[in-house]
């Protein structure tokens, strides 16, 4: 049945006969979207996600069409899972689980099989059996579900010998104030959607499907701008008001895959086409930050606040002139500016794909906002990307006094499963 026919049926079907089974489908209830919205159901249409990237500016999308965009769980020809290069979504959840006592490789395989099947259904806009009904009125809404494996997963499943060296623990940094209860975990799930109810529905559904095989370790909730909220496509802003993610590598870059995804030369065949995610809960000291003038803030970052352009001039995408000096003989972009220190050209070409969510968890006892960034970055090798850059930032970044890293995680994210398979199947059954 075509997607257009599916929508038409939703608008014309009568109530089921007495005793008949009602099959829940979120897409079947999109009859009010109209012809323009229906056209957006085609993957890649209406600003669709297939082939689009978190690092690229997408065409403006009408708010009425947001729910129609579908991101496939198994994209034809795609090696990596959705949620890595997918454009940033408006709502997200990061959640980690530990395998339950006594659960091992067999239970982990069964859980990932269930999760993979359910994620595919949810991302297509279909509700599973015994659904809660939370998202019945919504379409796919760019939902993505991404699964990762923590270092401890390999110990719990007896697969320590197959654990990649890239999962070696991250070093300690001076800005770290890490809560171990909100860090790491055997299994990690990233959920993103352009509708908050669709995102929550996925979170709740996956949590229920643990079926005693795993227990919640921690959960964090985030948000970004809704697509279409700005007059033209632009890089997202963080809660400091700064344009955040200007130097993200782009899929059009000739070395993008080499930097972000694991290549064929890895000894861990089950990770070919996968990536490594570093997750950090970074609280921003907004009360301190907001006391600084705009000029002071811009010197801390090294970019203009209004449009993200480097202090040396141009637009957001103009390369920084790190050699430029002012009338006083000092660098126009200060030596300790965040953008200078984090720039690939200042880190032997090291780069990572940033794909964060902002968060706000209320207010602390002193009245300061408990808010900041759920930092998620992707790379082929954390040691050569996140760790290398963060070490340099740790030695003199002007932004560091305004940040506190309060939680951390590092996860191996296997490639997308083939048709009929589940995430990490080659690892667990190989």
| Annotation says 394 is catalytic | no
**The one catalytic residue among 131, 244, 381, 397:** 244
HSE on the CB side for 353, CA within 13 Å? 29
User: Is the distance from CB of 251 to CB of 56 less than 8 angstroms?
Assistant: yes
Alpha-carbon distances, residue 161 vs 66, 158, 296, 412, 425 (angstroms): 44, 8, 50, 15, 16
Catalytic residues: 244
């Amino acid at each position: 049945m075509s997607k257009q026919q599916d929508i038409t049926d939703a608008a014309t079907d009568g109530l089921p006969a007495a005793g008949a089974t009602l099959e829940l489908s979120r897409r079947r209830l999109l009859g009010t979207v109209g012809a323009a919205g229906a056209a957006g159901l085609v993957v890649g249409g209406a600003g669709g996600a297939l082939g689009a990237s978190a690092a690229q500016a997408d065409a403006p999308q009408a708010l009425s069409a947001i729910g129609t965009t579908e991101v496939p769980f198994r994209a034809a020809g795609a090696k990596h899972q959705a949620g890595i290069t997918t454009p940033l979504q408006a709502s997200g959840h990061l959640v980690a689980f530990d395998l339950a006592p006594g659960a091992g490789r067999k239970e982990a395989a069964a859980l990932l099989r269930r999760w993979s099947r359910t994620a595919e259904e949810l991302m297509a806009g279909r509700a599973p059996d015994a659904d809660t009904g939370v998202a019945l009125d919504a379409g796919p809404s760019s939902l993505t579900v991404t699964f990762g494996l923590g270092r401890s997963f390999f110990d719990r499943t007896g697969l320590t010998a197959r654990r990649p060296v890239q999962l070696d623990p991250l070093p300690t940094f001076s800005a770290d104030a890490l809560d171990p209860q909100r860090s790491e975990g055997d299994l990690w799930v990233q959920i993103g959607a352009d509708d908050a109810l669709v995102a929550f529905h996925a979170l709740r559904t996956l949590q229920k499907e643990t079926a005693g095989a795993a227990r919640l370790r921690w959960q964090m909730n985030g948000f970004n701008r809704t697509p279409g909220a700005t007059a033209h496509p632009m890089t997202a802003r963080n809660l400091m008001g700064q344009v955040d993610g200007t130097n993200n590598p782009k899929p059009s870059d000739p070395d993008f895959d080499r930097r972000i995804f694991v290549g064929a030369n890895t000894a861990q065949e089950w990770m070919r086409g996968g990536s490594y995610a570093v997750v950090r809960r970074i609280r921003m000291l907004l009360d301190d930050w907001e006391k600084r003038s705009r000029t002071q803030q811009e010197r801390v970052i090294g970019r203009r606040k209004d449009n993200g352009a480097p202090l040396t001039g141009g637009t957001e995408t103009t390369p920084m002139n790190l050699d430029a000096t002012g009338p006083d003989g000092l660098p126009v972009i200060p030596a300790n500016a965040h953008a200078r220190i984090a720039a690939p050209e200042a880190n032997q070409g090291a780069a990572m794909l940033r794909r964060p969510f902002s968060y706000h968890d209320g207010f602390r006892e002193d009245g300061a906002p408990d808010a900041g960034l759920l930092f998620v970055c992707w790379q082929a090798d954390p040691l050569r990307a996140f760790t290398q850059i963060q070490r340099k930032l740790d030695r003199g970044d002007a932004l560091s006094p305004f940040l506190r890293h309060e939680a951390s995680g590092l996860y191996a994210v296997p490639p997308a499963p083939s048709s009929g398979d589940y995430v990490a199947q080659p690892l667990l059954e190989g």
